Amino acid sequence: MELSEKEKGVLILAARDSIHSIFGGQVPPIIDFHYLPNLAEIGPGAFVTLTIHNRLRGCIGYISSNKNLFETVCDAAIQAATDDPRFKPLTEDEFSQTSIEISILSKLNPISNYDEIQLGVHGLVLDSGFNRGLLLPQVATENHFNLSQFLTAICDKAGIDSLAWTKRKLNIKTFTAIVFAETGDRKKTYEQN
């Protein structure tokens, strides 16, 4: 899937409107999918990451979805603002300082060897019994991880032994993502409305 700049902009504004609706603001408008066909696609997963002054404030999403991409992003935005267990729900005072990043996920691909993982390109999903962990592709880049550190981090995220990847082959799948973030102009335009 490829997204146009207009589609990315619509998703960013829809994510912001969705969060704003928690505080009594307007809900995202109904859009005409005829002009934005990728947003009508059913199935792609999406994650919404919230930061304040470049510090994580919430990140939740879906590996896949039975809703269209527009609705999936709106749902993920609300969940990132209210239901990330690592943080208290976002407050209205914090909302104006919050920046939004969206990651649209490809389908998952099983790997046969850890060397297939391309840092900065692939995100990881680890399934181990009842445990599951997901790391977006940008996590490796932002944290300057090498492959060993990335594999250790996915084990930690799944809640299993950090070095389990050294002891046995784990059920890890890779994915790529279209990642885009709110620009200062988009945020400023929104705040003026």
If one counts every other C-beta atom within 10 angstroms of the C-beta of residue 175, the result is: 20
Rounded Cα distance, 27 and 78, in Å: 11
Mean pLDDT across the chain, nearest whole number?
92
**In this structure, what CATH number is given to the domain that contains residue 124?**
3.30.1490.150
Rounded Cα distance, 41 and 174, in Å: 21
66/30 same-domain check:
yes
pLDDT one-digit tens code per residue, 71-95: 999 999 999 999 999 999 999 999 9
96/16 same-domain check:
yes
50/10 same-domain check:
yes
Confidence check: pLDDT of 190 > 80: no
Q: Which residues have a Cβ under 8 Å from the Cβ of 82 and sit 6 or more positions away?
A: 22, 89, 90
39/94 same-domain check:
yes
Rounded Cα distance, 90 and 176, in Å: 28
Three-state secondary-structure class, residue 44:
strand
pLDDT one-digit tens code per residue, 121-141: 999 999 999 999 999 999 999
Confidence check: pLDDT of 97 > 50: yes
Three-state secondary-structure class, residue 6:
helix
Rounded Cα distance, 135 and 146, in Å: 14
Tell me the residue type at 145.
F
**In this structure, what CATH number is given to the domain that contains residue 76?**
3.30.700.20
Tell me the residue type at 67.
K
Domain that holds residue 142: 109-175
94/116 same-domain check:
no
159/85 same-domain check:
no
17/94 same-domain check:
yes
Identify the DSSP state of 40. G
Sign of CA dihedral 47, 15, 50, 58: negative
Q: Are 98 and 163 in contact (CB under 8 A)?
A: no
| Total number of domains constituting the chain | 2
- C-alpha to C-alpha distances, 127 to 70, 110, 157, 159, nearest whole angstrom: 27, 11, 11, 10
30-34, 57-61, 65-69 — which is least confidently predicted?
Answer: 30-34
If one counts every other C-beta atom within 10 angstroms of the C-beta of residue 140, the result is: 24
Confidence check: pLDDT of 188 > 60: no
Q: What percent of the chain has a predicted confidence (pLDDT) above 90?
A: 87
119/43 same-domain check:
no
67/88 same-domain check:
yes
114/74 same-domain check:
no
pTM score, two decimals? 0.90
137/152 same-domain check:
yes
156/170 same-domain check:
yes
